[in-house]
A and B are shown apart, each in its own frame.
Chain A
Amino acid sequence: MKDKDLFARRLSPFVSIFFGFLIGFLLLLILGYNPLAGFAFLFEGGIIGMPAGDLRQFGNVLLSMTPLVLTGLSIAFAFKTGLFNIGVAGQMLFGGFLAVAVGNRMDLPRALHLPLLLLASMAGGALWAAVPGILKATFRINEVVTGIMMNYIALWGVRWFSGRFIPGSDVMTSAPIRETATLRALWLTNLFTRSNVNYGLFAAFAACLLVWFILEKTTFGYELKAVGFNQHAADYAGMKATRSILYSMLIAGALAGLAGATHYAGFSDRLTGLGWLPSQGFDGIAVALLGLNSPLGVLLAAFFLGYMNIGGAYMQIMARIPAELVSIIVSTIIYFAALSQLIEGWLKKWSNKNKRDGGAL
């Protein structure tokens, strides 16, 4: 890829973000809110209290970004290998269920319990992703449709499993996990002034590093990407396309399942909201698109979205602007990210024109 093309590609997410904020700004203006004050609170929310040594808000940003890194990474990984993993929400939910089940039903020392919980979550996510993976690989059925079906099967299935094996106080919640299985750590909670920042954040960092390594430094990763670019060419070159599709779905599912562990055994200590699909599953699409499907980009995009979530809640309290503004901005960003090729085209044209006119760039 030429430098200029790379430049246009890297710049396009910022153009999407700009449009997202522009739409949000105009909406506030039209509806009679004070957009400047609102945006000030939105940007201030994530770091408020920091100068005084109160890291709670910033800790909540890290807490909010943790599952987003993993769901975003799951979708980005699948994208790289030519698959659209829209079933992340279901994989996260089922992975979270297995994690909470292990955390609640088993009685083990901490050194064993926590790793086992993480493994269970990944196995659950991978299992749920295996269905679209197998159907895509063997029957060539579109993974988007099967992913959506699996999301809703997870929604109802997990509610039933939870009520049967780890019943909580009502149908929407499960029983809590044991102390020995939690991802939370006292030193982190103290460091971030009572925020539930947890080991999940480090797990997310590690996952980014691992995915980068697999995709960029191994033959296996190269084959996955080759199949993503052109399945028939990869087949012709002797790579097993069907096997690659299944493997990449399994890995994407494991990442999504891990997101479930960080959410249900770190952010909370039990399954909650068992009547809706976890929103991180869909926000992950925004993270992957903004992060241009690269692990580092996913980290940055997840931080941005986590920051916006916490800022939005602060803005709602301080300026009485509904926090849904953040979701409006995020969905606008996704919409413009869908047009990324077009935006890249504009940027290329624009930089060409500048060069012709002798403008510095």
Chain B
Amino acid sequence: MWDFITTMMPFALAATAPMLVVALGGLFSERSGIINIGLEGLMVIGAFTTSFFVSQAFAGNMSTVWLGILLGGVAGCLVSLLHAYASISLKANQVISGTAINLLAPALTLFLAQTFTGGQNVRIPTGVPRYDIPYLSKIPILGPLFFTRVFTTTLIAFAIVAITWYLVFKTAFGLRLRACGEHPQAADSMGINVYRMRYIGVLASGFLSGLGGAILLVTASLEANGEVAGLGFLALAALIFGKWNPVGVMFASFFFGFMRTLGSLATINPTLLQWNLPVELYNALPYLMTLIALMLFSRNASGPRAAGEAYDKGKR
């Protein structure tokens, strides 16, 4: 059993990282009061931008890959402006605008890929390597679980959890952001610029979603093909399951990432073959559990209260 867990851990952590980063993006947006259903599309944009840049510019230097990952985040940020402008400035329906992004992203990236490369799939020559962290990987129990064969991007993802927690719960900025998501009228009366805070929330979600798509690309898929297999929606589920709290979101993402790993290794790993559970069960379980969690939470209604409602200054 121990062997099985230590074999699974590096895969599970790698599967957690992109989802976690995207879910934290969703957290910024929803805490500011804007539902962002377009996370999936923004991930696609990020993955495509990174793969296109790296496939064109890579010449054996790893810093190109890192620059590509950053560009993926920037591209997600730019596209999320569409959502921010529609849902904040123009007070449009947030779900419809997010859906438009989900439909636009695969179409646009496949169109550009075919125009510039002739094919639908854009492959990158190399991802980022796994490595054992010196000293830490020698710690008994914890070492083999968390610090062996890790990606740098996974460490970055967990660092973002800490940063998000600090920003949202320990700074004036975070208090204002949350106020805009709970009661924008009250926030406005205290002199907070609600529109500005919400723009920051949505753009942060765009950047982190793009980054998440890029991380998925360099650690797992290695090619952009216009989809991220529902990972953006899974991140949305992790956000809800984690009750809009960075630490909760981290555990939820890890749990979902572990399930996804079990699903993808179910037909290969000897232990999982023994269990003989269907691949589909592992994949459907996160969504089922989120549904159940929603029912259990609903009594002490969680989630930012004003999320989904456009803020109109003139309305009381």
- Residues of A close to B294: CB separation below 8 A: 135, 139, 141, 145-146
Contact, CB under 8 Å: A322 / B99:
no
Q: Chain B binding site: helix, strand, loop or mixed by DSSP?
A: helix
- Residues of B close to A335: CB separation below 8 A: 82, 86, 97, 100-101, 104
Indicate with 1 or 0, residue by residue over A146-167, a CB within 8 angstroms of chain B CB atoms.
1011111101110110000000
- Residues of B close to A330: CB separation below 8 A: 103, 107
Contact, CB under 8 Å: B283 / A327:
no
CA distance A328 to B113 in the complex (A): 14
Contact, CB under 8 Å: A328 / B114:
no
CA distance A284 to B77 in the complex (A): 28
Indicate with 1 or 0, residue by residue over B105-123, a CB within 8 angstroms of chain A CB atoms.
0111011101100000000
From residue A310, how far is it (CB to closest CB) to chain B in Å? 17
Interface membership of A17, Cβ < 8 A: no
On chain A, the number of residues with a Cβ less than 8 Å from chain B's Cβ atoms is: 45
Contact, CB under 8 Å: B99 / A282:
yes
- Residues of B close to A285: CB separation below 8 A: 96, 99
Contact, CB under 8 Å: B280 / A339:
no
A151, A156, A331: the one contacting B107 at CB < 8 Å is A331
From residue A83, how far is it (CB to closest CB) to chain B in Å? 11
- Residues of A close to B240: CB separation below 8 A: 145
The interface stretch among B165-173, B192-200, B216-224, B285-293 is B285-293
In the complex, which residue of chain A has the Cβ closest to the Cβ of B115? A31
A157 touching B93 in the complex, CB below 8 Å, given contacts A141-B298, A331-B107: no
A149, A159, A326: the one contacting B280 at CB < 8 Å is A159
Interface membership of A332, Cβ < 8 A: yes
- Residues of A close to B234: CB separation below 8 A: 152
CA distance A327 to B111 in the complex (A): 10
Interface membership of A179, Cβ < 8 A: no
Indicate with 1 or 0, residue by residue over A286-298, a CB within 8 angstroms of chain B CB atoms.
1001000000000
Contact, CB under 8 Å: A339 / B92:
yes
**In the complex, chain B residues 89-148 whose Cβ is within 8 Å of any chain A Cβ:** 90-93, 95-97, 99-104, 106-108, 110-112, 114-115
Contact, CB under 8 Å: B308 / A142:
yes
A140 touching B287 in the complex, CB below 8 Å, given contacts A86-B95, A156-B280, A282-B102: no
Contact, CB under 8 Å: B291 / A156:
no
- Residues of A close to B91: CB separation below 8 A: 341-342
Contact, CB under 8 Å: B291 / A131:
yes
CA distance A289 to B93 in the complex (A): 12
Contact, CB under 8 Å: A337 / B107:
no
10 contacts between A and B (CB under 8 A): A139-B295, A142-B308, A150-B291, A151-B233, A156-B283, A285-B99, A322-B114, A325-B107, A327-B103, A334-B96
The list of the 8 closest CB pairs from A to B, nearest first, reads: A327-B107, A331-B104, A160-B280, A331-B103, A156-B284, A335-B100, A338-B96, A139-B298
Which residues of B pack against A, CB within 8 Å?
35, 37, 82, 86, 90-93, 95-97, 99-104, 106-108, 110-112, 114-115, 227, 230, 233-234, 236-237, 240, 278, 280-281, 283-284, 287-288, 290-291, 294-295, 298, 301, 308
Which residues of A pack against B, CB within 8 Å?
27, 31, 84, 86, 131, 135, 139-142, 144-146, 148-153, 155-157, 159-160, 276, 282, 285-286, 289, 322, 324-328, 330-332, 334-335, 337-339, 341-342
